[in-house]
Structure 1
Amino acid sequence: MRWLLLVSTVFAFVLCFTRHSAGAWGFWMLAGLLGVFATTLAFVHARIAGNAREASLSEYDLKRLREGKPPLRHERP
């Protein structure tokens, strides 16, 4: 989804700078700026989600944390 947003944003800026009327230029500039905002949030979300831990830890992982060891890496479904 984030790649589609990026491509759409670039396309909006291409259309913005190739239009001759002020109305079309303004519309595509607005679409491009909103796209930059949405694309940035999508990439930030993907980065945070990729580095986040699971919502809850098992009892075994909690025990390992108390002992000073890192919790085991579990595969996400």
Structure 2
Amino acid sequence: MRWLLLVLTVFAYVLCFSRHSAGAMAWWLLIAVIATFATTLAFAQARIEGNSRGDSLSEYELRRLREGKDPLAHERDRSGS
């Protein structure tokens, strides 16, 4: 979806700068600015979502958290770090 927004944003800028009447130029510039904002938010959301961990913990991780231990330490131990 974010790539479609990016393509539509570029298309709106192209249409904005290729219009000869002031009204059409202003209309497409408004659309382009709104699309730029939406595209920026879409890419930011995708990056945040890609770097976040899951919403819930497993039973094992909850038990370790209740014991006062790091719930994700077992993942680091298995990876060899």
Structure whose CA Rg is larger: 2
Moved over 6 A (4+): none
Inter-CA distance 67–30: structure 2 relative to 1 (3 Å threshold): closer
What is the aligned-residue identity percentage?
58
Cα deviations by residue, 1:10-50 (Å, 9 ceiling, x for unpaired): 00000000001000000000000000000000000100111
TM-score (norm 1): 0.82
Inter-CA distance 39–66: structure 2 relative to 1 (3 Å threshold): same
Could you tell me which residue of structure 1 aligns to residue 42 of structure 2?
42
Could you tell me which residue of structure 1 aligns to residue 69 of structure 2?
66
Q: Which has the higher helix share?
A: 2
Q: Secondary structure at the match of 1:44?
A: helix
Cα separation, 1, equivalents of 2:29 and 2:74: 48
Could you tell me which residue of structure 2 aligns to residue 52 of structure 1?
52
Q: Secondary structure at the match of 1:43?
A: helix
Shift of the alpha carbon at 1:59? 2.2
